[in-house]
Chains A and B, each alone.
Chain A
Amino acid sequence: MQNSTILEKEIEPKEENLSRLKELEDQINGIKEKLESLTKSAPSNKLSMIVFSGDLDKVLAAFIIATGAVAMGMEVVMFFTFWGTPVLRDKNKKAGDKDLMGKMFGSMLPKGTCEVKLSKMNMAGMGTKMMKSLMKKKNVASLEQMIEMAGELGVQIYVCEMSMDLMGFKQEEIIDYPNMSFCGVAKFLEEAMDSKVQLFI
């Protein structure tokens, strides 16, 4: 009873009440607009990762995080750049038509996962060999298995076109992977802006 009398009093169409009402309406509309733009710019449940390193241990860590993130329900995008790009070369594929520098980089950098070395304790390849046999013994997935699993899980891989060009790699010597494309920095930034987690490895 008391409430309704208050309400009646409040909605009395007085000039000042009307203008106050208009003011409130404007404020609510402003908040609505802001909220909309905030929801639009909120990052997705996504992980964007730059794989800069070409070391076995670091690339392995990158793939462990990537597959783990998919298990946690995240979308995962990996960007391979600089020393990371030769990891994705296929040792059985050949690309002709390379200039001298391209040939030089091509022969000096690892040709795919099997030639990737540890960042520490490589000891002329002995350390890497030991680590690989230890991983086998301990049932830790190999880099090749991790890449295959990432493909099955829908991890998207982008390869930096500029690094490829710089080192003289051709797209036809890159491994077969279900979700792979080539891009530049803008594509990474677009994905990173829309990701809750960003990593540089």
Chain B
Amino acid sequence: MSEEIHADKVMDLKGLPCPMPVVKVSKGIKEVEVGQVIEAVTTDPGSLADFPAWARTSGNQILKTDQGDGVIKFYIQRKA
């Protein structure tokens, strides 16, 4: 049984294609405190590559990626 991650904010990005998921999550991460976690839910398969790339360059950390039923969930911790 994997450990549940507590999300301080949930962003529903389902149905949004490129570049909206990354644009929205980059705005959303600024609305939580450093150390807090965002749960971002997308349906865009491209975000599987985009979110890690965005996290690396923006200095944030993806704690966990869940995938299933065409939905991808990212748990992202604000680092900077």
Contact between B23 and A67 (Cβ–Cβ < 8 Å)? yes
Within 8 A of A (CB), among B9-42: 15-20, 22-23, 25-27
The 3 A-B pairs at the shortest CB distance, nearest first, are namely A71-B26, A68-B19, A71-B22
CB of B26 within 8 A of CB of A138, answer no
A: residues with CB less than 8 A from B are: 64, 67-68, 70-73, 138-141, 149, 153
- Check B54 against A71 for contact (C-beta < 8 Å): yes
CB atoms of A71 and B23 under 8 A apart: yes
Selected from B20, B25, B58, the residue in CB contact (under 8 A) with A73 is: B58
Interface of B, secondary structure class, is helix
* Contact across chains for A72 and B58 when beta carbons are under 8 A apart: yes
**Cβ contacts under 8 Å, A68 to chain B:** 18-19, 22-23
List the interface of chain B (C-beta within 8 A of A): 15-20, 22-23, 25-27, 53-54, 57-58
Measured CB to CB, the closest approach of chain A to B25, in angstroms, equals 8
Q: Are A71 and B19 in contact (CB under 8 A)?
A: yes
A residues within 8 A CB of B26?
A: 70-73
Of A70, A139, A149, A153, the residue contacting B17 (CB under 8 A) is A139
Assess whether B17 is in contact with A67, with CB atoms less than 8 Å apart.
no
Find the B residue at minimum CB distance from A45.
B57
Q: Which residues of B contact A67 (CB under 8 A)?
A: 19, 23
B-chain residues with CB within 8 Å of residue A64 when the two chains form the complex: 18-19
Residues of B close to A138: CB separation below 8 A: 17
Q: Which residues of A contact B27 (CB under 8 A)?
A: 71
What is the CA–CA distance of A141 and B24 in the complex, to the nearest angstrom?
A: 13
